[in-house]
Amino acid sequence: MEQALYDDFVARATEWLDANAERKPIASEKFVWGQGDDNIRLMGSEHPEDEEAALGAAAAWRAMTFDAGLSWPGGPTEHGGGGLDPELNEVWRQLESQYLIPDQGAWNVAWDMVGPAIAVHGSDDLRRRFLRPIYRGELLCSQLLSEPEAGSDLAGLKTRAVRDGDEWVVNGQKVWNSYAHRAKIGQLMARTDPDVPKHQGLTMFLLPLDSPGVEIRPLKQMNGQAEFNEVFLTDVRIPDANRVGEPGSGWRAVLTTLMSERASVGASKQAAATSPANMVVELARHLERTDDPIVRQLLAEVWTFDMVNRLTAQRHADEREHSGRERGAEGSILKLLGTRNNTRIGDLAGSLLGPAFAADTGEWGTYSWSAFRVSAPALRIAGGTDEIQRNILSERMLGLPRE
């Protein structure tokens, strides 16, 4: 990216943000023990009890930034984007994260996973109908990929879609569908040809989730939230016009989604000073445990892997910028780095806190780590299990024989 282009965008975006939002207080840009919210989130809504209102506020903010020509600078101009370097999309997110704005996390599936699949594999009609509403915050999306019996083998799914004129009739079940209870569109993978090898018989569709025959049931998690769901599909009809790519090409389309999802799951999204890795260091300082050589070694591991994750993400982003290629197996690297470090952080917090980790004493910065730890296992599954990521890296990057 040319420096002049970057500087011009940052100047325009900062001027607009200063005029339309309040900057975060300086104290919130660094970790100070006892100040601010001690909720250490890995996933889910910041305030699940106000989920509907929070999503509405987030959508309104996104529409305003989109209309200002700022929130999708790398998108094609014919669909409302800025027509600039795609790397500016992430630059925008980093800039707006410095301001007090509605939480945008629920839209990650739409912007980072569903949108790219439509842009790369969808027809001109699909791109025209869906890209602008998705990136303007009008269409919250959910992935309808995983199934109860398929486990980590996504290509082993059993949900069937049968052609009936200009429609497809779908029957099956999906599970672990984030925000399906609030989303308007589901990114559905279904088997359309059972007589060919499993990877070749899949097709992707965009399913309106208010369609007859769609039943959505929330799944309560051990962290107390329920942003995941299971979705039952009974004789659901989808227009053929909502098909993403040719019949049987769904595996190629879903790879675009999965590579973005894996990088997103594993990426260190918080600023280094307020990341969980740094916060657990501050916890050890608060408890006066930093003189313990074993604790120091564990802290060093956590901090080192957090920095490796950040630097690896930046290196791959730079490589994509120069080569123009899509995400590849590096998404698996980031996912493994991130999910393993989340477990390290949670385990270390538990060993430092002892009973305060499991019982809420009301003390700031203690029991809040429990929610972090019980959320960590879910991210080992999201976007493909850690075991699947190891297979991808061994086969595609190291050239080892298939399992």
**Active site positions, annotated:** 261
Secondary structure of residue 218 in the 3-state scheme? strand
Whether 237 and 167 have beta carbons less than 8 Å apart is answered as yes
Whether 137 and 146 have beta carbons less than 8 Å apart is answered as no
Question: Helix H segments across 109-246?
Answer: 115-121, 124-126, 132-135
Helical (H) or strand (E) element with 397: none
Question: Look-up: residue for tokens 């780095």?
Answer: 337
Alpha carbon of residue 56 to chain centroid: 19
Taking alpha carbons only, the member of 84, 60, 63, 59 closest to residue 74 is: 84
Secondary structure of residue 189 in the 3-state scheme? strand
Question: Look-up: residue for tokens 């309104």?
Answer: 60
Q: Is the dihedral of CA 146, 151, 153, 155 positive or negative?
A: negative
Residue 230 structure tokens: 């299971």
Q: Hey, what amino acid is at 197?
A: P
User: Which residues, at least 6 apart from 403, have a Cβ–Cβ distance to it below 8 Å?
Assistant: 391, 395
Pairwise CA distance, residues 188 & 146, whole Å: 10
CA angle 354-380-340, nearest 5°? 60
**Counting beta carbons within 10 angstroms of the beta carbon of residue 100, is it exposed (0 to 12), middle (13 to 18) or buried (19 or more)?**
exposed
CA angle 170-383-308, nearest 5°? 165
Alpha carbon of residue 142 to chain centroid: 11
Question: Helix H segments across 233-367?
Answer: 250-266, 276-286, 293-323, 330-353
Q: How many residues does the chain have?
A: 403
Beta bridge mates, 207: 186
Taking alpha carbons only, the member of 42, 38, 2, 31 closest to residue 356 is: 38
Q: What is the CB neighbour count within 10 angstroms for residue 342?
A: 25
